[in-house]
Amino acid sequence: MMLAGAGCGKAVACLQLMTTSASDPAARAADLRAQLQHHAHRYYVLDAPEIPDAEYDRLFQELQAIEAAHPELLTADSPTQRVLGKVLPGLVPVRHAVPMLSIRTETDTTAAGAEAFDARVRRELGLEADAPPVEYCAELKFDGLAINLRYERGVLVQATTRGDGETGEDVTQNIRTIGQIPLRLFGEAPELIEIRGEVYMRRDDFERLNERQREKGEKSFINPRNTAAGAVRQLDPAQVAAKKLSFFAYGLGDVQGWFQPATHSATLDAIAAFGVPVNGERAVVQGAEGLAAYHRRIAARRDALPFDIDGVVYKVNDIALQKQLGFVTREPRWAVAHKYPAQEQMTRLNDIEIQVGRTGKLTPVAKLEPVFVGGTTVSNATLHNLFELRRKKVRVGDTVIVRRAGDVIPEVVGVVPTARPRYVANFRMPRRCPVCGSAVVRERGGVDHRCTGGLFCAAQRKQALLHFAGRRAMDIEGLGDKLVDQLVDGGLIRTLPELYKLGVAKLAALDRMAEKSAANLVAALEQSKHTTLARFLYALGIRQVGEATAKDLAKHFGSLDRVMDASVEQLLEVPDVGPIVATSIRTFFEQPHNREVVEQLRAAGVRWDEHDGTADTAPRPLAGKTLVLTGTLPSLGREEAKALIEAAGGKVAGSVSKKTHYVIAGEEAGSKLDKARELGVPVLDEDGLRALLA
């Protein structure tokens, strides 16, 4: 009864909307634009979507359809106009209405940098020693490319690079491909406002891009900043759209018809309220001490940030004081950049070694003359693969550029061209695994060399164990690399399940292993047995299955057996799972020995609550199934039907394809029903749906 009632309510609302759209396309288009703008902001800027992607697509398509039928309703700020523009013959120069200045840099990376700036500000303001501290707004210094966004009456009309500060280049059509940058500002927009900030690339987006490049055997990019800057100045917007860029605003250019707040921090808040991304690490601090504390705090967080910064920026917060301080040459007296140690450094490449990974991949590793980079001393860096190494023309003895940013493994990104004092042979991959002597192969068309030894190879076995025991996997405390070396080298462990057969006596017999630590490890092993499906899937070390994918799989399928038996098609329905990942999972579970490992682990007592990852323990009869709703159901509203399907683990799609498992059809079902019949997809009515849900 309750469901039926609720359903009616929704149906009425829905009918009203439909009437609006049929009778007043202009109103419906405006409504859709507002909705899409809201959801795009939730998705791109706040990273907190309220509706599934499919629903967004549906709204988007509805708007596209209205605009196609009524071209006069099309507006420049319509979300449908974020489409790719033409390839340009060249970038057009644009004179800035207000010059884009740069700022002075304090290169002293200690607190002295902050003190020097504060002392200068105080002197120039004529403050006595006992005058209260100056208030500052402290921000991150993003490592990207400065961009000016010009909004007229709230609509983005032009985006320009900084250029020489007086004249930049028009990059509007490239900037329009960046989902985070609103084409129309929220709320009551000024007559004219230029918002300035930095286009940058997140580290994970950069890593993914390079991963793809390496897989294709193509040139990898050096760092996120060069990649973002290069992309923004591309002539072909399709190239830009493929890069996934981001944006943070940090200031203003020309402004007309707007009362700017009295402080810089309040100005940033206002910019954020317009829907433009502003970084949340900004802080209002007092005096030199406040600045130095901010510098220290951000230094400690630098590696954990999802993007590169090369320092922090301090700005006098009070706009009136900023005006009073003014400029020297082309730099404001009221702002300064305070640097951090560089994330790229030069050093000598002493040797190249081969490391054998968990999946047998042979990675050439650069042995470096130790160098301080990105805040730590680095003496090893990855060269990724033979092709990458060859492309970079790296040879032992060369001076190389090492990059270390965040928790990404340090890498050699390039060679500094210098004359080689003597001939150095080109590096070659060994034909036999340096650890186990098995043959080394390279898949046709692939870039990676692999040891064929599998778990016969001690290196692979060790890595597999360490991965299995890892904090994010089975989380077996105390099982570190020294112990794993002993267990594998001593022949105590050949397969993962054997881990759980280790007793205190066997362990205590090992080198440097006291009875107490042996007992602790056995307890840790026991404790690790109670885990989650996501952790277990991740722990298995299936190629291409990282933590995020493991979580998605657990959530989507709800049980291990369903994952093990899923077809490639079914796996492809999991969010973010593409053909390569799906095939890898399928291949893994097709191997009898892998299934055996799983069974032995289960037999050893490894267990989890089914449908883990989500707190709900309801049965998920529709896990892995895609349904399409069409027409009006007798008692269930569309949203209720959808909610019930999703609660049962199913997915509701907007259109019928070969991948659709069921079409649920009600009164006045249209083309979707025809399509289902054409493709032979089973068609059910509401009772049929209820039967599935039960």
Active site amino acids: 141
The residue type found at 377 is T
Instruction: Output the CA–CA distances (angstroms, integers) from residue 96 to 20, 33, 101, 555, in the order listed.
Output: 44, 30, 11, 51
CB of 64 to ligand IVH, least distance (A): 35
User: Please, which residues bridge with residue 667 across strands?
Assistant: 632
The stretch among 139-147, 236-244, 366-374, 412-420 that binds ligand IVH (CB under 6 A) is 139-147
Can you tell me which of 56, 60, 136, 142 binds ligand IVH, judged by CB under 6 A? 142
* Tokens 């291990």 sit on residue: 560
4-15 per-residue burial string, b: 16 or more CB within 10 A, e: under 16? eeebeeebeeee
Can you tell me which of 151, 247, 250, 314 binds ligand IVH, judged by CB under 6 A? 250
622-661 per-residue burial string, b: 16 or more CB within 10 A, e: under 16? bbbbbbbbbbbbebbbbbbbbebbeebbbbbbeebeeebb
Task: Let me know the angle formed at the C-alpha of 80 by 75 and 82, rounded to the nearest 5 degrees.
Answer: 100
Q: Does 14 engage in binding with ligand IVH (CB under 6 A)?
A: no
CB nearer to ligand IVH: give 229 or 381.
229
* Tokens 């469901």 sit on residue: 3
For residues 621 and 690, what is the distance between their CA atoms, to the nearest angstrom?
11
CB nearer to ligand IVH: give 249 or 493.
249
Q: What is the CA radius of gyration of the chain?
A: 30
Can you tell me which of 61, 75, 102, 324 binds ligand IVH, judged by CB under 6 A? 102
Those residues whose C-beta lies under 8 Å from the C-beta of residue 418, and which sit 6 or more positions away, are: 398, 399
For residues 471 and 81, what is the distance between their CA atoms, to the nearest angstrom?
45
For residues 280 and 277, what is the distance between their CA atoms, to the nearest angstrom?
9
CB of 138 to ligand IVH, least distance (A): 9
| Number of shown-chain residues binding ligand IVH (CB under 6 A) | 14
Can you tell me which of 113, 182, 251, 410 binds ligand IVH, judged by CB under 6 A? 251
Q: Within 13 Å and on the Cβ side, how many CA atoms surround 284?
A: 11
Q: Does 103 engage in binding with ligand IVH (CB under 6 A)?
A: yes
Q: Does 308 engage in binding with ligand IVH (CB under 6 A)?
A: no
CB of 200 to ligand IVH, least distance (A): 9
The stretch among 35-43, 57-65, 101-109, 418-426 that binds ligand IVH (CB under 6 A) is 101-109
Phi and psi of 655, rounded to 5°?
-140, 160
CB of 216 to ligand IVH, least distance (A): 32
CB nearer to ligand IVH: give 114 or 356.
114
Those residues whose C-beta lies under 8 Å from the C-beta of residue 258, and which sit 6 or more positions away, are: 190, 191, 193
Q: Does 77 engage in binding with ligand IVH (CB under 6 A)?
A: no
CB of 69 to ligand IVH, least distance (A): 43
Those residues whose C-beta lies under 8 Å from the C-beta of residue 308, and which sit 6 or more positions away, are: 142, 143, 200, 203, 223, 224, 225, 343, 405, 406
Per DSSP, 456 falls in state G
The stretch among 331-339, 386-394, 631-639, 663-671 that binds ligand IVH (CB under 6 A) is 331-339
Q: Does 85 engage in binding with ligand IVH (CB under 6 A)?
A: no
Can you tell me which of 332, 621, 631, 688 binds ligand IVH, judged by CB under 6 A? 332
Can you tell me which of 91, 134, 156, 335 binds ligand IVH, judged by CB under 6 A? 335
The stretch among 88-96, 99-107, 125-133, 676-684 that binds ligand IVH (CB under 6 A) is 99-107
The stretch among 40-48, 121-129, 329-337, 532-540 that binds ligand IVH (CB under 6 A) is 329-337
CB nearer to ligand IVH: give 406 or 478.
406
The residue ranges of DSSP E strands in 98-245, in sequence order, are 104-106, 135-142, 145-152, 155-161, 167-169, 192-200
Q: Does 608 engage in binding with ligand IVH (CB under 6 A)?
A: no
Contact 247, 181 (CB under 8 A): yes
Please tell me whether residue 658 adopts helix, strand or coil conformation.
coil
CB of 221 to ligand IVH, least distance (A): 20
Q: Does 101 engage in binding with ligand IVH (CB under 6 A)?
A: yes
SS (H, E, C) 664-690: EECECCCHHHHHHHHHCCCEECHHHHH
CB of 103 to ligand IVH, least distance (A): 4
* Tokens 């039967």 sit on residue: 691
CB nearer to ligand IVH: give 141 or 450.
141
CB nearer to ligand IVH: give 14 or 103.
103
CB nearer to ligand IVH: give 274 or 536.
274
Q: Does 538 engage in binding with ligand IVH (CB under 6 A)?
A: no
Please tell me whether residue 350 adopts helix, strand or coil conformation.
strand
For residues 506 and 368, what is the distance between their CA atoms, to the nearest angstrom?
39
What is the contact mask toward ligand IVH in residues 146 to 185, using x (rule: CB under 6 A)?
x---------------------------------------
The stretch among 204-212, 291-299, 330-338, 597-605 that binds ligand IVH (CB under 6 A) is 330-338
CB nearer to ligand IVH: give 251 or 364.
251
Write out the DSSP string of 48-74: --SS-HHHHHHHHHHHHHHHHH-GGG-
Can you tell me which of 77, 118, 194, 198 binds ligand IVH, judged by CB under 6 A? 198
CB nearer to ligand IVH: give 141 or 244.
141
For residues 382 and 353, what is the distance between their CA atoms, to the nearest angstrom?
10
Q: Does 141 engage in binding with ligand IVH (CB under 6 A)?
A: yes
Can you tell me which of 77, 106, 139, 612 binds ligand IVH, judged by CB under 6 A? 139
CB nearer to ligand IVH: give 330 or 593.
330
CB nearer to ligand IVH: give 221 or 250.
250
CB nearer to ligand IVH: give 133 or 332.
332
Helix (H) or strand (E) holding 15: helix 2-23
The stretch among 13-21, 136-144, 501-509, 603-611 that binds ligand IVH (CB under 6 A) is 136-144
Token pair recorded at residue 260: 């700017």
Site residues for ligand IVH, window 510-529 (CB under 6 A)?
Answer: none
Greatest Cα pair distance, the chain, in angstroms, is 87
Instruction: Output the CA–CA distances (angstroms, integers) from residue 653 to 53, 56, 362, 575, in the order listed.
Output: 10, 12, 42, 13
Catalog residues that contact ligand IVH under the rule CB under 6 A: 101-103, 139, 141-142, 146, 198, 250-251, 313, 332, 335, 337
